[in-house]
């Protein structure tokens, strides 16, 4: 029997979901899908069309093509905001559902996002919820987007605080929306990464994957 393992990786912005999910997929020999890119691509196309991201983005979500995910301009601050706005629309989420489920169902996969463990794959045998304090996440995102560590301390802190405010606003909107809000699935294992580098997070995640899959195989054999 071929086992199509699905690993759900969820959590707030810049927690290290993508870094972990990519490394896990490689370690487990599974395909990887960054589902945030789907919402980013829809937000990008809304901006390109001169539409506010609060307007109906359903038709654009339905018309998304793979090339939209390859664009290099999906990680700007304005796309961060637009992605979160379109992601609160039920029509957008349902337009993107089949693609995500199909991707995971074919060969198994590691998917990262906000609702993988709660909505997209509620039966996934392994669900990880990656967290870190807002300050740690803001520092990481600031470095990731090219923050200059040589800046004077005051300027650096002000820049990090600006990133932190944006992350916080997006997390609050993602958690408060009615459809597929950001929250851990009841059976998710939370990893607080404040004190952990990417390698340590990967080791902990692999330990959980092996524990969960062994448990799953045992329960399946009994029932
Ligand atoms: O996917 P998500 O937005 O959750 O975060 P990411 O893009 O994987 O990680 C954000 C930044 O934090 C990247 O530059 C990672 O290299 C860094 N990171 C880190 O410093 N420590 C970790 N444990 C995980 C990620
Ligand atoms: O990398 P970062 O964590 O900053 O963001 P992302 O994962 O690329 O997601 C961008 C936005 O898309 C999020 O703020 C969410 O509003 C939305 N999103 C979602 O609603 N559901 C997902 N499965 C993935 C992303």
Which residue's CA lies nearest to atom 17 of ligand 1?
140
CA angle 77, 72, 133 (to 5 degrees): 40
Tell me the CA–centroid distance for residue 196 and ligand 2, in Å.
22
What pLDDT digit, counting tens, does each position of 144-180 carry? 999 999 999 999 999 999 999 999 999 999 999 999 9
Q: Which ligand is nearest to the CA of 24?
A: 1
- CATH number for 40: 3.40.50.300
Q: Residue with the nearest Cα to atom 22 of ligand 1?
A: 198
- Please check whether residue 1 lies inside any domain of the structure: no
Please state, in angstroms and rounded to a whole number, the distance separating the CA atoms of residues 36 and 83.
8
Domain for residue 29, yes or no? yes
Domain of residue 163: give its range.
6-222
> Which ligand is the nearest neighbour of the Cα of 121?
2
Q: Looking at the 3D structure of the chain, how many domains does it have?
A: 1
Question: Residue 128 domain-assigned?
Answer: yes
Residue of minimum CA distance from atom 23 in ligand 2? 113
pTM score of the predicted model: 0.97
The predicted-structure confidence for 169-220, as pLDDT tens digits, reads as follows 999 999 999 999 999 999 999 999 999 999 999 999 999 999 999 988 888 7
Q: Is the ipTM of this complex over 0.95?
A: yes
């Amino acid at each position: 029997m071929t086992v199509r393992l699905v690993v759900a990786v969820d959590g707030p912005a810049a927690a290290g979901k993508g870094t972990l999910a990519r490394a896990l997929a490689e370690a487990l020999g599974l395909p990887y899908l960054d589902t945030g890119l789907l919402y980013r691509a829809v937000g990008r196309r809304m901006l390109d069309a001169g539409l506010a991201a609060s307007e109906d983005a359903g038709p654009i979500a339905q018309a998304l093509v793979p090339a939209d995910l390859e664009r290099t301009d999906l990680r700007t601050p304005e796309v961060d905001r637009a992605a979160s706005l379109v992601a609160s629309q039920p029509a957008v989420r349902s337009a993107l559902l089949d693609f995500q489920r199909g991707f995971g169902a074919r060969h198994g996969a590691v998917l990262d996002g906000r609702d993988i463990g709660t909505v997209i794959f509620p039966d996934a045998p392994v669900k990880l919820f990656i967290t870190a304090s807002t300050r740690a996440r803001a520092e990481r995102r600031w470095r990731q987007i090219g923050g200059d560590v040589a800046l004077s301390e005051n300027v650096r802190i002000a820049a990090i605080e600006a990133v932190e405010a944006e992350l916080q606003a997006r997390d609050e909107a993602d958690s408060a929306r009615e459809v597929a809000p950001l929250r851990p699935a009841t059976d998710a294992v939370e990893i607080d990464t404040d004190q952990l580098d990417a390698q340590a997070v990967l080791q902990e995640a692999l330990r959980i994957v092996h524990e969960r899959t062994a448990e799953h195989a045992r329960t399946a054999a009994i029932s």
